[in-house]
Amino acid sequence: MKGGLAQPDISIADAKADDYAALVICGGSSVPEFFWNDKKLQEIVTAIHAAGKIVAAICLSTVVIAKAKLLTDREATVYYLPEAIHQLKEGGARYVKDTLIIHNNIILAEGPPDSERFGQAIRAALAS
């Protein structure tokens, strides 16, 4: 966040899918370390999706959705890093270079240049 600091209102461990209308997972260089293998986050992603709610991810965080098995046999995008592409494929996704992909209530974006379109897609999905 360009030197900024944010304090969470709740930890991932304490979050409950029923409390949210959607889940948006932001990207960044720390995502592989903190989010990729977070089983609780994967459970929340799965529960929110199963409830028909919006699940969105941008940049390196799209791997979390793949690891939750929501992208099996689907096209998906991720910030272009070989390890990220490998992890996406390990999760069953088919990597494509598209910058924005929408699968019903799953919204994926490649990276920072796509953040405006990503936000607009989320807003449109929430409004429908």
Nearest to 28 by CA among 84, 107, 106, 89: 84
Architecture of the 21-127 domain: 3-Layer(aba) Sandwich (3.40)
pLDDT higher for 92 or 128? Answer: 92
- What average pLDDT score do residues 10-29 get? 95
Cβ-contact 83, 105 below 8 angstroms: no
Predicted TM-score (pTM) of the model is 0.94
Amino acid at 126: L
pLDDT of residue 103: 95
Between CA 88 and CA 51 the distance in angstroms is 23
Q: What percent of the chain has pLDDT over 70?
A: 98
Residue 30 has pLDDT above 90, yes or no: yes
- What average pLDDT score do residues 8-25 get? 95
* pLDDT tens-digit series, residues 31-87: 999 999 999 999 999 999 999 999 999 999 999 999 999 999 999 999 999 999 999
Q: What percent of the chain has pLDDT over 90?
A: 93
Q: Where are the domains of the chain?
A: 21-127
Beta bridge partners of 100: 109
pLDDT of residue 1: 52
Confidence of residue 2 (pLDDT cuts 50, 70, 90): low
